[in-house]
Structure 1
Amino acid sequence: MAVSEQKNPEKQTLGFQAEVKQLLQLMIHSLYSNKEIFLRELISNASDAADKLRFEAIDNSALFENDTELKIKVSFDKEKRTITISDNGIGMSRHDAVEHLGTIAKSGTKEFFSRLSGDQQKDAALIGQFGVGFYSGFIIADRITVETRRAGAAANEGVRWESEGAGDFTVEAIDKPTRGTDIILHLREGEDEFLSSWKLKSIIRKYSDHISLPIVMQKEEWNEEKKETVVTDELETVNQASALWARSKNDITPEQYTEFYKHVSHDFGEPLTYTHNRVEGRSEYTQLLYIPSQAPFDLWDRNKRGGIKLYVKRVFIMDDAEQLMPVYLRFVKGVIDSADLPLNVSREILQESRDVKVIREGSTKRVLGMLEELANADEQEKKDKYTTFWNAFGQVLKEGMGEDATNKERIAKLLRFASTHNDSDAQTVSFADYVSRMKEGQTKIFYATGESYNAAKNSPHLEIFRKKGIEVLLLTDRVDEWMLSFLEDFEGKELASVAKGDLDLGQLEDEAEKKQHQETEDQYKELVGKMQTALADKAKEVRVTFRLTDSPACLVADENELSGNLLRMLKAAGQNAPDAKPILEINPDHPLVQRLKYEEAKFDDWSNILFDQALLAEGGNLNDPAGFVKRLNEMLLGLASK
């Protein structure tokens, strides 16, 4: 950040971070249709500032400076055309003001900007996930002045920050007798509708009624002499000013639950579902947990802290308590208020606390219960909500198979996959759905993995399954291969890859088929031996297969080895992957394989072509593409000359 030269060293002009400039332009244009959110965002920030003061004052009560009644004040001045949002929370130092108001320090910022499309409606939703906070003031203001002083600092250590929301801002020292922050919005032309007590109160009651601090405004009364309503010095509380999660569920409307979600998540959208419970027993706590309807831009940042705000006896402790929810449920937002934890609890204490372990286990089960309610519902609306959830967070939930052994069976029932039963890549098939459609005599759940839906759907390994009408699950998410290492069966039904080990269809093959297969294998023993010699540097083994009906050959992995798809993923990610050779299986009914029985001069070339074709068919990369092309061209020329 560059600092321009100034004659007065107390006042500096500083440049906004490039991302701030970009965000301001996007926000002003994309969010203009929902201007009211500026007040919600600024009140939310003021509430957070009060929470932080309460937390720091646990160890240093002097920070209250003889003013322990925390509140937020909203006022306006029609003549000056300003709206002011004031709080007596933690406040900011000069350094804080520059860092917090001039830069964006969020992880995933680059990813956020890369996903912007230029479509105002879509971008508005993404900006809502990113969180606009303080900058939302520029939606209705062409200039913002911030006057602030950090709690505990001297009165002459106040700071004035000011900007017109363009390329730069100024900071200078001021005297500020009271701690906290005043944000003064100088309204743009045409925004005078907000210079109204009725308008501001209605916005506060609509969006910020859940804020636990009192939000106060000056009372208005009718002045008979002036024949108009005038503002008095008396203050009135506009909101309910009690922690929403501490209220009875019967006293909270769905709209209030939704607005509270937007407050804790900084998301403009509505939640899919939520749960509000008071838990008593070995550990006493209240939980208000939400499942969002869309994935945040930083969902795949596993180092990102959780979305749970921790309170102890309604005193804010931290807003990213990752110990209260497992990593695979990192999308959950909400509040947990414990009656048992100490007020001075730290992250280190949270890691060791038995009470936290109980809260984590209880909250995990509660979230899984919410998902089960949607997944197993008869009502179409709830089913649609689960589909929305799965499309947004399904890959993250799959991580739970390896991270949460206690709830492994519950998570398995929530998983959804694409399948050959449906002619679409939609992941809608559960294990229970699959089992209900299993053929008589079928004992295994068959699956195929691939880098894409089309790669898995068109795999040659599926040919015998199509012929016999056996359903196969199609797994194409990157997390699937890892997940499968923790998932061996579902309710006693073994999961079997169509591309690993010997094909065993069990009772789905009759005795006549088995006898015929044995006879065919005996007939091809000599050919298999010759091919194994020709492909000794490529294939672990060559054998006859009956899983193919159209293709001449395919590659399979040994039962206890990594699949070809997983090996490719590991190598692409720069991981050390074992140098395992695949097994080449040949289709004895295919003309190319039958011709190979009588080939002498070009036997090795034909064998290599079959191997390379099989490798390409499963999405692999050839070690010697030029050699493959040369051999193939020679074969084609040879056939053409006959």
Structure 2
Amino acid sequence: MKVQETRNFESEVKQLLHLMINSLYSNKEIFLRELISNASDAADKLRFKALSNIKLYENDNQLKVQISIDKKEKLIIINDNGIGMTRDEVIENLGTIAKSGTKSFIESLNISSKKLENNKQTTQFIGQFGVGFYSSFIVANKVSVKTRAAGIPHDKGVFWESTGENNYTITNIYKKFRGTEITLHIRDNNNEFLDVWRIKNIISKYSEHISLPIEIQTYNEKTKQYVWEQINKAQAIWLRNKSEISDSEYKEFYKQLTHDTTDPITWSHNHVEGKQEYTSLLYIPSNVPWDVRNRDYKSGIKLYVQRVFIMDDAEQLLPKYLRFIKGLVDSNDLPLNISREILQDNNIIHNMKNMLTRKVLNMLINLSKKEDVYNDLWKKFGLILKEGPAEDLNNKDKIIELLRFASTYNNNSIQNISLETYINRMIKGQNKIYFLTADNYLSAKSSPHLEFFINKKIEVLLLTDHIDEWMMSYITDFKGKPLQLISKKDDSLNDFLQKEDNIDNNKNIKELDYFIKKIENLLGNKVKKIYYTNRLVNIPAIVTTDTNEMSTQMAKLFAAAGQQTPEIKYNFELNPTHVLIKKAMKIKDEKYFSEFINLLLEEAILAEKGTLDNPNIFINRINYFLSNEKI
């Protein structure tokens, strides 16, 4: 019995259809690429499911896509004998955008539809979320779909139809053959696509590499009959010799594989033989998926076994910090019935992961030699690569080579300085790599800890991403040079002091020792230790942490993650040459002295942390001095 109903599209689909129809008018031909790509996916899914149930082939295992044109009725019909769909799957796949996060992504664009129509992000979005079916409405004013899932009764077929406006109709039908047939009712202004040669050219341009035969119906003048003509070679591109594949073919395959509309930055195609046999084709994309910084972002690596598609997001093949890499791996060693659970503990997969990781890192290292190209890549994926030193200790040295930082050398926030470049600029006598972590670039740039290094012309790396402090806890040295956080106490800095910088007057030293003892009695356990320092010039005091203590930024990182952190006890370092310290040494009034020293301490903590535990006390202290007649 036929059950027909009319259903409304979800709001995201309505918005998407509007964008689709109004924004891609300059690149209409992609509709065919998208529909052929979907047909290829349907064939892959059938092959995979048929591994455990050969009956799904229904005595027809010659998978293909067939395209026919009816000029008189202005129709293009795309038919495949892949996996097909059930009624519920039709509703899910054609009536909604099932991919999680799509709605929030649309909202996050925060651009009106009118602006978005001419925005490059639109086409990237269309492919990124795998909604290529809706591209049919670029050229068609009505789309009809007949489908039946493999292995279900013939009378459980489904008919779906829509004009691409607010709703669609769906009904049960009898469909003898499994698979999906899509009929496009072509708009009056798109008659060019009713030409067989135009369709052939589109297939050759976008889908030559599809491993599924693509046939088009043509009229044979000699026999006066319609025949099916295969257009593509139907050979998987990754199985071909690299020397036979052009750059344009690699790029088009990438677009078909990922549904991205932009060219990749570069790629690596490798055949591995020996103890293990596999082929990999890995791409570095130029487009940044909006959610790629999320650790739960799905891997972009497809897994094939003996040319049979197994799964879309084989996250076991590359570490998380390389999740932006796209491509595929085709193994000859894995069993065809392998599951995600088996992948977790499979030695073959483990070895492949190690080799693929090294391959990608070498590809990135080679790319880093092209400074402009790599700097652009770093802007897009640098935050993700920063997860590497903690995640992949075996390849830590290679990952460190890829890191880029802002520094005091450039006087801007651009992260384009490698540790190799830093080492080559180190001054005479310098044997450490100095860095500073802060909440943002302005905070880092104005940090009182920088004063000494600027005066001595020592370059300091400025790290302002939230992940930086955590990352640097895994990087202790580079090429024999220790890394030193400048907000921690470092006695080795005394090596840079000139003789005239030192306090060598015994009287001054005695006065300072007495002064510090007085402050120790006043502050008690508010601070860990109190020193006078010779490295400050224009700043009266700073706070530092000991080498083995948790740093301020690390404590902030823990707090942001909801974890408890031990209380940080700072060292209080005073500049004996500063006018305020000299003034403090002369204060006789105990109340005034207490307020003065506490204010200096709170100023130093505020400069270090950006916050105070009790800002009201700080404000009251300032008000005390503003209203005191001694000022």
The one-letter amino acid of 1:617's match is A
What is the one-letter code of the residue matched to 2:457?
G
User: Alignment partner for residue 291 of structure 1, among 249, 260, 284?
Assistant: 284
Give 1:594-633 correspondences, 5 Å limit. 594-599=582-587, 600=589, 601-633=591-623
Q: CA deviation at 1:124?
A: 2.1
1:14-413 equivalences in 2 (<5 Å): 14-116=7-109, 117=111, 118-119=115-116, 120-127=118-125, 128-222=127-221, 232-376=225-369, 382-413=370-401
Quickly say closer, same or farther: Cα 1:586–1:236, change in 2 above 3 A. same
Give the match for residue 627 of structure 2.
Answer: 637
| 1:43 match: secondary structure | helix
Q: Per-residue CA shift, 1:472-503, capped at 9, x if unaligned?
A: 00111111111111100001100001101234
Structure 1 residue identity aligned to 2:552:
G
For residues 443-493 of structure 1, the C-alpha deviation after alignment (integer angstroms, 9 at most, x for no partner) is: 100000111111111111000000000000011111111111110000110
C-alpha separation in 1, matches of 2:505 and 2:259: 63
Partner of 2:411: 423
Q: Could you tell me which amino acid in structure 2 is paired with residue 144 of structure 1? A: V
Give, in whole Å, the separation in 2 of the partners of 1:202 and 1:512. Answer: 80
Give the ranges of 4+ consecutive aligned residues of structure 1 lying more than 6 Å apart after TM superposition.
Answer: none
Once residues 257 and 501 of structure 2 are traced to their aligned partners in structure 1, the CA distance between those partners, rounded to angstroms, is 63
Equivalent position SS for 1:478? coil
Distance of 1:542 and 1:129 partners within structure 2 = 57
Q: 3-state DSSP class of the match of 1:96?
A: helix
- Give the Cα–Cα distance (whole angstroms) in 2 for the partners of residues 522 and 87 of structure 1: 92
Q: 1:504 to 1:30 in 2, by over 3 A?
A: farther
The answer for the alignment partner of 1:571 in structure 2 is 559
Residue aligned with 2:152, SS: coil
Where structure 2 has 5 or more consecutive residues not aligned to the other structure, the ranges are: none
Corresponding residue SS for 2:211: coil
- Displacement of 1:298: 1.4
User: Quick check: 29-38 or 515-524, which moved more?
Assistant: 515-524
> Paired residue for 1:525, among 513, 527, 551?
513
Please give the alpha-carbon distance, in whole angstroms, between the structure 1 residues aligned to 2:486 and 2:580: 23
Q: What's the offset of the Cα at 1:592?
A: 1.6
> What SS does the corresponding residue of 1:428 show, helix, strand or coil?
strand
Partner SS, residue 119 of structure 2: helix
Aligned with 1:469 (options 435, 438, 457): 457
**Shift in CA distance, 343/520, structure 1 to aligned 2, threshold 3 Å:** farther
Size of the alignment, in residue pairs?
623
CA-CA distance at 1:553 after TM superposition: 1.9
> How far 1:336 sits from its partner (Å)?
0.5
Task: Provide the rounded CA distance (Å) in 2 between the counterparts of 1:584 and 1:142.
Answer: 74
Counterpart amino acid of residue 300 in structure 2: G
1:25 CA drift (Å): 2.1
Deviations 1:210-240 (A, max 9, x none): 100011101234589xxxxx8x421111111
What is the rounded CA distance, in whole Å, between the counterparts of 2:603 and 2:68 in structure 1? 74
Q: Structure 1 466/396 Cα, relative in aligned 2: closer, same or farther at 3 Å?
A: same
**Residues 589, 320 of structure 1: CA spacing in aligned structure 2 closer, same or farther, 3 A cutoff?**
same
Instruction: Pick which of 25-34 and 303-312 moved more.
Output: 25-34
Q: Name the SS of the counterpart of 1:334 in structure 2.
A: strand
Kindly provide the amino acid, as one letter, of the partner of residue 63 in structure 1. Answer: L
> Are the aligned partners of 1:276 and 1:289 in contact in 2 as well (CA < 8 Å)?
yes
Counterpart-to-counterpart distance in 2, 1:516 and 1:113: 67
d(CA) in 1 for partners of 2:239 and 2:37? Answer: 18
Distance 1:107 1:301, change over 3 A: farther
Q: Is the deviation greater in 588-597 or in 203-212? A: 588-597
Q: Is the Cα–Cα contact under 8 Å of residues 67 and 79 in structure 2 kept in the other structure?
A: yes
Q: CA deviation at 1:581?
A: 2.4
How far the C-alpha of 1:509 sits from its partner, in A, is: 3.0
Moved more, 286-295 or 213-222: 213-222
SS in 1 for 2:415: coil
Conservation of the 8 A alpha-carbon contact between 2:501 and 2:534: no
Q: Tell me, what secondary structure is at the counterpart of 2:188? A: coil
Matching of residues 399-548 of structure 1 within 5 Å: 399-505=387-493, 507-510=495-498, 513-514=501-502, 516=504, 522-536=510-524, 538-548=526-536
**Partners in 2 of 1:553 and 1:199 — Cα distance?**
75
Measured after TM superposition, the shift of residue 202 of structure 1 is 0.7
Task: Map Cα deviations across residues 148-182 of structure 1 (whole Å, 9 max, x no partner).
Answer: 10000111000111222222222110011000111
Contact 1:30 1:123 in 2 (8 A): no
Alignment CA distance shift 1:108-1:547 (3 Å): farther
Contact 1:111 1:298 in 2 (8 A): no
Structure 1 length normalisation: TM-score? 0.93
Output the amino acid matched with 1:183.
Answer: I
**C-alpha displacement at 1:510, in angstroms?**
4.3
- The code of the aligned residue for 1:477 comes to D
One-letter code aligned to 2:19 = L
1:92 maps to a residue whose letter is M
Give the distance between the partners of 1:250 and 1:438, measured in 2 at CA: 45
SS at match of 1:597: helix
**Shift of residue 583, structure 1, vs aligned partner:** 2.3
Cα deviation per residue 1:17-45 (whole Å; 9 max; x = unaligned)? 22222222223333232111111111111
Contact 2:148/2:177, CA 8 A, preserved across alignment: yes
Single out whichever of 25-34 and 334-343 deviates more from structure 2.
Answer: 25-34
Q: CA RMSD in A?
A: 2.1
Q: Which amino acid aligns with 2:391?
A: E
Distance 1:383 1:20, change over 3 A: same
CA contact (8 A) 1:464 1:546 kept: no
Could you tell me which amino acid in structure 2 is paired with residue 142 of structure 1?
N
Alpha-carbon distance change, 342 to 462 in structure 1, aligned in 2, over 3 angstroms: same
- Aligned residue identity for 2:533: T
For residues 221 and 613 of structure 1, what CA distance do their matches in structure 2 show? 88
Secondary structure of residue in 1 paired with 2:492? coil
**Match of 2:429, SS?**
coil
Task: Work out whether residues 147 and 178 of structure 2, in 8 Å CA contact, stay in contact via their aligned partners in 1.
Answer: yes
Change (3 A) 1:17 1:341: same
What secondary structure, in the 3-state scheme, does the structure 2 residue paired with 1:504 have? Answer: helix
Give the partner amino acid of 1:203.
I
**Cα shift readout 1:263-303 (whole Å, capped 9, x = no counterpart):** 12121111000000101111110010000113211112212
Identity of aligned residues (%): 48
Higher mean alpha-carbon deviation, 539-548 vs 70-79, is at 539-548
In structure 2, distance between residues paired with 1:169 and 1:526 = 87
Give the stretch that moved more between structures: 620-629 or 90-99.
620-629
